[in-house]
Structure 1
Amino acid sequence: MLYQRTLSLAFAAAMAFAAAPHASAQQYPSQPIRLIVPTAPGGVADIVGRTFAQKLTEGGKTAIVENKTGAGGAIAADFVAKAAPDGYTVFVGFHATNAILPHLQKLNYDAQNDFIPITIAARTANILVVNPNVPAKTMKELVDHAKANPGKVTFASQGNGSTGHIVGEQFKQVAGIDIAHVPYRGGAPAVQDLIAGHVNMMFDVLTLAVPQIQGQKVRPIAVASPKRVPLIPDVPTVAESGFPQLESGPWFGFFVPAKTPQAVVDFLYAEAKKAFESPDVQAQFEKQGLTAMLGTPAETKKFVADEYARWGDVIKKGNISAN
C-alpha cells in the first residue's frame, strides 16, 4: 500500500514537472520582458527595441530596454544565449551578431543553435556611393575605373565585419577588381572622410546616406535593394546595374534563447507583427528608409541561416579576419 502510494506521489510530481513549462507559457507574460539591445542608444537596433517595448506596454504588458554594448554586439548575444529560456529575455539581434561575427572570431555563443528567431522587424539596404570627384556614374564605369587603377581606389566601411565591409569585399570578388579597404569606427567618420575625398567610395547604409545624396555631398551609384527606393527613385538597383549578388543591408530582429516554449515564441511573434504593422510605425519606417519584414519564426530561421551561409562564403573566399 505504501509502495503504491509512493508510486502515485512520484507519478503526480513527474506530471506536474512536465506540465510546468506549458503552464508557465500559458501565463506568459506575468513579469516584465527585457529587450536586450547590443548597441548604444539612438541606432536602428535601439529604435527597434524601444518601438517593440512601447507597443507591448501600450497593449498592457510591461517591457523594458537594456543596452548592453561591447564586442560588436557579442556581449549582449552571449548574455541572452545563456539566459533562462522563458521569454523574459529577448535579444534584438542583427546581421553582425547572428550572421557575420561567427565567421570572423571565436565567440562564447553559437549563433546558429543558441537562439530561436522570432522575426526580422526592420531591414534597410546598403547603397554604393562615391565622392563626387570619382569619374564614375554607373557601376560599369566604377569597375572600369578600378581596373584602370588597381590598388589605388579605396572603399571605406563602418568597421571590420560591418555589412559595408563584407559587401565591399564581395564587390571585389564578383567584379574582379583590386580596391583597398579602409575601416572606420562607425559610419559617421567614414562618411566624413568620403565627403572630404580621403576615400573614394563606400557601401553606406541607406537611412544615413539619403541626406548626403540629397545634399549632393556624395554621388549614388546603385542601391543594394530588390527594388528602387522611393526616397531616391532615380538611383538604380545593383541588379539593374548587373550585380544582383550584391543585394544586401543591415537587418534587426528578435531572438530568444533555445528551448523557449513554442507558445512564448508564438506570442512574441504575434505581438511583434502587430506592433510593426501599425500605421504609425510604418510611417516612421518609411521616413527612415526601413522596411519591416515580419516573416514567421520558421521563415526567419531560414533567412538568418541563408545570411549566415552567404557571408561565411564571402569571408572565407576573401580570407577576411576581424583585425
Structure 2
Amino acid sequence: MKRRFLCQALACLAVVSTSGLAFASPSPETFQAKRPLRLIAPSSPGGILDLTSRLLGKTLSEQLGQPVVVENLPGAGGVIGMQAMLRAEPDGHTLVMGSLGPNAANYALHDKLPYKFEDFAPVAHVLTMPDVVVVNPKLPVKTIAELAAYARTRPNGLSMAVSTSGSSGHLAGDLLKQRAGITAVDVIYRGASPALTDLVAGQVDFMVDNLITALPLVRAGKLRALAVTTRQRAPELPDTPTMAESGYRDFDVSVWLGLFVSSRTPPAVVQALNVAVNKALADPALREKLAQQGGTAAGGSTRQFDSFVRAEKARWEQVIKDGNIKPE
C-alpha cells in the first residue's frame, strides 16, 4: 500500500510546475484508496486554527474526492495537537495546522518540549492575518495611548485575556505591555471563544486576538478595536490605526498558519500534499471566504515555507530573550 502511494505521489510530482502557485492538480488517486485525510486543529472549536482548518479541509475534500476530517485537539498551547500528529503513521494522511506558538515561539518559551523543530516537515504556508487589540466598550479608552494611560491609573494594572499561551496574540500583548510600560495580568484560556466571551462580559479588560475571531464582535459593537498589529491597516477595519501609527514604529506582528507532517514522511508524499494544498488555496471561493474573515491565503513551495518558519523561530527567540517573556 505504501509503495503504491509513493509511486502515485511521484507520478503526480512529475507534472508539477515550479513557478509560484502554478501547480498541476494532483489526482484523487495520489492518496490511498479514498482513505480520509486527518487534519488536526490544535485548538478548541471557534478559533482561527479551527475555522481555517475547516474551510481548507472542505475545499481539499471537494478537489481530492475523499474525506478530510478535522479533529480538534486543544491544550498546552498547541503541544497536544502536535504530539498527536507525530504519533500517527508518517504516511501523509495525518496533518496538523501549525502556527507561531507551537512551531516557532515555543522553542524559546519552554525549557523542555516533547518534540523538536526537526520532527516536523513543512507542507505549505496557508494563511496570514493581523492581530487586533480589542477592549470591552465600557472601558473608557479609544486609543492605545488612552489604554496605556488608563492602565497606569489602576493600582493593580489591567487584565489581558489570552486565547492560548504562546500564541501571536499572547506575544503581541506582552510586547505591548513592555513597550507601553504597563502592568496587566495574563488570563490564559483554552481558545479564543471563552476568552472573547469573558471580554464581552467585562470579566477581563483587553485582548490581542486574531482578526478572524474578533472581527464579528467588533462589527456588532460588542468590542472596540484600538489598533492592528501589522504594518498596514486591515481593509476590514479601515479606520483602525496600526500599532506603528499609535506610536510604536517597530511593532509588527502577524498571525500565520501552515500545515505540517512528520519529518519521517516520504519527501515525495510531502510534495504531493503541497500540490494539493496549493491547488485548494488557489480556489477563488476559498480565498474569498478567508478574505471575508480578515485572512490572506498564502501558498508556495515547501522550501519557501521552511525558510519562513525558520526565520520566525529565530526572530521570536530574540524577542523572547530580550523581553524576558515567560510562559504562563
CA contact (8 A) 1:21 1:261 kept: no
Q: Which moved more, 1:147-156 or 1:300-309?
A: 147-156
Segments ≥4 residues shifted beyond 6 Å:
19-22
CA separation of 1:299 and 1:243: change in aligned 2, threshold 3 A: farther
**1:58-97 counterparts in 2 under 5 A?**
58-67=62-71, 69-72=73-76, 73-97=78-102
Q: Which moved more, 1:163-172 or 1:132-141?
A: 132-141
**1:154-165 counterparts in 2 under 5 A?**
154-165=159-170
- Name the SS for the 1:113 alignment partner: helix
Give the deviation of 1:171 after TM superposition.
1.2
Q: Structure 1 CA distance, aligned partners of 2:181 and 2:156?
A: 12
CA contact (8 A) 2:134 2:224 kept: yes
Q: Kindly indicate whether residue 216 of structure 2 is the aligned counterpart of residue 214 of structure 1.
A: no
Q: Structure 1 CA distance, aligned partners of 2:141 and 2:74?
A: 38
Q: Structure 1 CA distance, aligned partners of 2:104 and 2:205?
A: 27
* TM-score normalised by L of structure 2: 0.79
CA contact (8 A) 1:225 1:247 kept: yes
Work out which of the residue numbers 102, 113, 118 in structure 2 matches 1:107: 113
Q: Which residue type is aligned with residue 303 of structure 1?
A: F
Q: Which moved more, 1:198-207 or 1:258-267?
A: 258-267
Give the deviation of 1:279 after TM superposition.
1.2
Q: Structure 2 CA distance, aligned partners of 1:58 and 1:265?
A: 20
Q: Which residue type is aligned with residue 26 of structure 1?
A: L
Work out which of the residue numbers 35, 54, 59 in structure 2 matches 1:55: 59
For 2:31, the equivalent position in structure 1 comes to: 29
Give the deviation of 1:316 after TM superposition.
3.5
**1:125-144 counterparts in 2 under 5 A?**
125-144=130-149
CA separation of 1:113 and 1:156: change in aligned 2, threshold 3 A: same
Q: What RMSD over aligned residues (CA atoms) do the two structures have, in Å? A: 2.9
Q: Cα deviations across residues 214-252 of structure 1 (Å, max 9, x unaligned)?
A: 233332111113322222211111222232443324332
How many percent identity over aligned positions?
37
CA separation of 1:119 and 1:38: change in aligned 2, threshold 3 A: same
CA separation of 1:68 and 1:149: change in aligned 2, threshold 3 A: closer
Q: Structure 1 CA distance, aligned partners of 2:177 and 2:46?
A: 32
Give the deviation of 1:67 after TM superposition.
1.3
Give the deviation of 1:300 after TM superposition.
1.3
Give the deviation of 1:57 after TM superposition.
3.4
- Name the SS for the 1:246 alignment partner: coil
Query: What is the number of residues matched between the two proteins?
Result: 304
Q: Structure 2 CA distance, aligned partners of 1:207 and 1:56?
A: 21
Work out which of the residue numbers 283, 299, 306 in structure 1 matches 2:288: 283
Q: Kindly indicate whether residue 235 of structure 2 is the aligned counterpart of residue 233 of structure 1.
A: no
Q: Which moved more, 1:289-298 or 1:74-83?
A: 74-83
Q: Point out the structure with max Rg over C-alpha.
A: 1
Mark the runs of 5 or more structure 1 residues left unpaired by the alignment. 1-18
Mark the runs of 5 or more structure 2 residues left unpaired by the alignment. 12-29
For 1:16, the equivalent position in structure 2 comes to: none
Q: Structure 1 CA distance, aligned partners of 2:240 and 2:282?
A: 27
Q: Which residue type is aligned with residue 305 of structure 2?
A: T
Q: Structure 2 CA distance, aligned partners of 1:153 and 1:47?
A: 30
Q: Which moved more, 1:48-57 or 1:126-135?
A: 48-57
Q: Kindly indicate whether residue 303 of structure 2 is the aligned counterpart of residue 298 of structure 1.
A: yes
CA contact (8 A) 2:54 2:70 kept: no
Q: Structure 2 CA distance, aligned partners of 1:150 and 1:180?
A: 12
